[in-house]
Amino acid sequence: MGEKTGMTRNPHFSHDNWIPTFFSTQYFWFVLKVRWQRLEDTTELGGLAPNCPVVRLSGQRCNIWEFMQGNRPLVLNFGSCTCPSFMFKFDQFKRLIEDFSSIADFLVIYIEEAHASDGWAFKNNMDIRNHQNLQDRLQAAHLLLARSPQCPVVVDTMQNQSSQLYAALPERLYIIQEGRILYK
């Protein structure tokens, strides 16, 4: 681990795929949305982790804390299939699960699309439109199952509550233990 990753280091995603989109209207609104969400971020290290509602891929509603088991840490990985950096780092996340599943639990929370095909879209990316309803989001999350996540996958509600409270757009990783935030 410890190696630098990101869009610029992704061999399947060249500069030609994303640089032409900069300074478009979609780019402006997306950046504004992310910055606004960061301003509203009230989570603090050591603070209480939000116990947001999420939806299992079966459609059953539950809360994030239901995935905590005793005093074991719970690693929350927020992202979507249209986020190139989330997808590029997904195999590393799976290695974390393999290496630490004996002492920690893991949960992927599928949030709104970072680069939906009808929003700030990139070339050579997955073709997923903005979710209009919960079924759209569940359907998009099912695409992630092809990557064999090795842990439960849930989706954020259509109110994007977990994404907002954890300031998770376009991607985010948290570790919580006994309801407290250890890492963000």
Q: Which helix (H) or strand (E) holds 62?
A: strand 61-63
SS3 content of the chain, % helix, strand, coil (to 5): 35, 20, 45
What domain range includes position 108?
A: 7-183
> Which tens digit of pLDDT belongs to each residue from 64-103?
999 999 999 999 999 999 988 898 899 999 999 999 999 9
Is-contact 114 80, C-beta < 8 A?
A: yes
Cβ-contact 134, 158 below 8 angstroms: yes
The overall average pLDDT reported for the chain is 85
pTM (two decimals): 0.79
What is the model's pLDDT at position 155? 98
Please count the structural domains in the chain: 1
| CATH number, domain with residue 49 | 3.40.30.10
pLDDT at 93: 96
User: Would you say residue 2 lies in a domain?
Assistant: no
Chain centroid to Cα 148, Å, comes to 16
119 domain residue, yes or no: yes
Q: Which residue from 1, 177, 176, 170 is spatially nearest to 87, judged by alpha carbons?
A: 170
- pLDDT > 70 fraction of the chain, expressed in percent and rounded: 77
Asked if pLDDT for residue 57 goes beyond 50, the answer is yes
Q: Please state the rounded mean pLDDT for residues 150-157.
A: 98
